Amino acid sequence: MDDLLSRLLEGDRRAVARLITLVENGDPAAKDPIRRLHEHTGRAHIVGITGPPGSGKSTLVNSLTKELRARGKSVGIIAIDPTSPFTGGAVLGDRVRMQDLATDPEVFIRSMGTRGSLGGVSVATNDAVNILDAFGKDMVIIETVGAGQVEVDIVKLAHTSVVVSMPGGGDEIQALKAGIMEIGDIFVVNKADREDAGRTFAEITMMLDMSQRGEDRVPPVIRTVATTGQGVDELADAILEHHLYLQEKGLLEKKARERILAELQEIINRRVERTVERALHEDPEMVELVRKLVETREIDPHSGASQVISHLLKKSEV
C-alpha cells in the first residue's frame, strides 16, 4: 500500500482510481494511504456545484471544466450520483457527456454512488476530494443533486459553493432552492435562453437582497447556457475571484478548519454507530435492553440511549 500512495504522489492516475475504489468500498487497505495522505492536502481550491434535478449541472460542469483548462488549471471532478438499487451503479447518462474531457490528462473524473449510509457517503466523498487534492489538482469540483441534506452538507464544506437553478419550476422546487440559498457563494441561472429565465434571475436576486448573510460580499447571480457555453467564462471568473476574496479576508483557513472538523465528526459518528450496532446484537446486557425497549416498552429510546452510552463507556469499547 506504500506503493499506492507513492504512485499517486508521482502522478499515476491508476493509483488514484484504485484508492478511490478502496475508499468507496470501505476497504481497510485504504486506511494507511489515506492517513498518510493528509499532510499532502490543503492546496486545491474545492468547488461544490449543486442544484435540482434537470438544472443541467453536469453539462455546466463539463463546460466549466473546459474553461478552467483553457486557463491552465488542472481539474478533478467528483460527481455524486443517485444510485439504482437494482444495478448497484450509477444510472445517469450524464457522465457520458463528460467523455470528451476524459482523454485530457489534466482532468480526472469520478462518479460516486449514494448507496450505503449517510455518514459513509460523506466520509468517502471527503476522502476522494482529499485524494484529488494530494494528487495535485488545482481545483476539485464536487457535483451533487442539491435536494437532500447530505448533498448540502457535502457542498457547504467546499471553499466555493455554486448553486445552480433553472427557469420555472413549481412551488416546491422554489422551496428546495430556498433551502440551499444560504450556502451559495455564487448563483447560476442555467438554461438562461428560456423566456422565463428573467423571472428566475429576478427572484434569486430579490431573495439575496432580503437575506442578512452577515457578509460584506453580495453573491453574484450569473446567467448561463451550459449547452452553448454562454456565460461560462463569467462563472469561471466568479469562482476564481471568490477564491481570491477568501484569501484576502483570511477566510480560507477558517473554511479549511471547518472542513477538517466536519470530517473528524463524521468519522467518529460512523465508528460509534458501528460499535453500537454490534453491541445491540451481540452483547447480552444490550440484547436484554433491546427487549425492554421493543417488547415490554419499559425502557424508552431516550433513556435507552443513556444506558447504551454508559455501558460502552464502562467497557471502553467505542
Q: Which of residues 23-42 bind its own copies (CB under 8 A)?
A: 31, 34-39, 41-42
Residue 252 sits in the site that holds its own copies (CB under 8 A) = no
Dihedral sign for Cα 236, 92, 163, 120, please.
negative
Residue 203 sits in the site that holds its own copies (CB under 8 A) = no
Residue 132 sits in the site that holds its own copies (CB under 8 A) = no
Closest approach of its own copies to the CB of residue 142, in Å: 16
Residue 197 sits in the site that holds its own copies (CB under 8 A) = no
In the set 1, 147, 240, 252, which binds its own copies (CB under 8 A)?
147
Residue 202 sits in the site that holds its own copies (CB under 8 A) = no
Instruction: For residues 267 and 273, give the distance between their C-alpha atoms in angstroms, rounded to a whole number.
Output: 10
Residue 260 sits in the site that holds its own copies (CB under 8 A) = yes
Pair 115, 104: CB distance under 8 Å: no
Q: Interface residues for its own copies in 54-83 (CB under 8 A)?
A: 54, 81-83
Which triple of cell numbers denotes residue 275? 460499535
Residue 86 sits in the site that holds its own copies (CB under 8 A) = yes
Which ranges of 56-196 does DSSP label H, i.e. alpha helix? 57-70, 94-97, 99-102, 118-134, 149-156, 171-181
- Per DSSP, the three-state class of 274 is helix
Q: Interface residues for its own copies in 95-114 (CB under 8 A)?
A: 114
Q: Which is nearer to its own copies, 28 or 105 (CB)?
A: 28
Closest approach of its own copies to the CB of residue 72, in Å: 27
Name residue 51's beta-bridge partners. Answer: 145
Closest approach of its own copies to the CB of residue 75, in Å: 22
Considering only 63-71, 84-92, 103-111, 195-203, which stretch makes contact with its own copies by CB under 8 A?
Answer: 84-92
Number of residues that bind its own copies (CB under 8 A): 83
Residue 240, CA distances (Å) to 46, 47, 183, 253 in order: 11, 10, 18, 17
- Per DSSP, the three-state class of 215 is coil
Closest approach of its own copies to the CB of residue 14, in Å: 23
Quick one: DSSP state of residue 48? E
Nearest CA-CA partner of 130 in 245, 265, 36: 36
Residue 214 sits in the site that holds its own copies (CB under 8 A) = no
Considering only 8-16, 100-108, 155-163, 288-296, which stretch makes contact with its own copies by CB under 8 A?
Answer: 288-296
Q: Which residues contact 25 (CB under 8 A, 6 or more apart)?
A: none
Considering only 154-162, 219-227, 237-245, 305-313, which stretch makes contact with its own copies by CB under 8 A?
Answer: 305-313
- Per DSSP, the three-state class of 71 is coil
Q: Which is nearer to its own copies, 102 or 305 (CB)?
A: 305
Q: Measured in Å, how far apart are the chain's first and last C-alpha atoms?
A: 27
Q: Interface residues for its own copies in 216-235 (CB under 8 A)?
A: none
Instruction: For residues 205 and 187, give the distance between their C-alpha atoms in angstroms, rounded to a whole number.
Output: 9
Closest approach of its own copies to the CB of residue 252, in Å: 12
Instruction: For residues 105 and 191, give the distance between their C-alpha atoms in angstroms, rounded to a whole number.
Output: 30
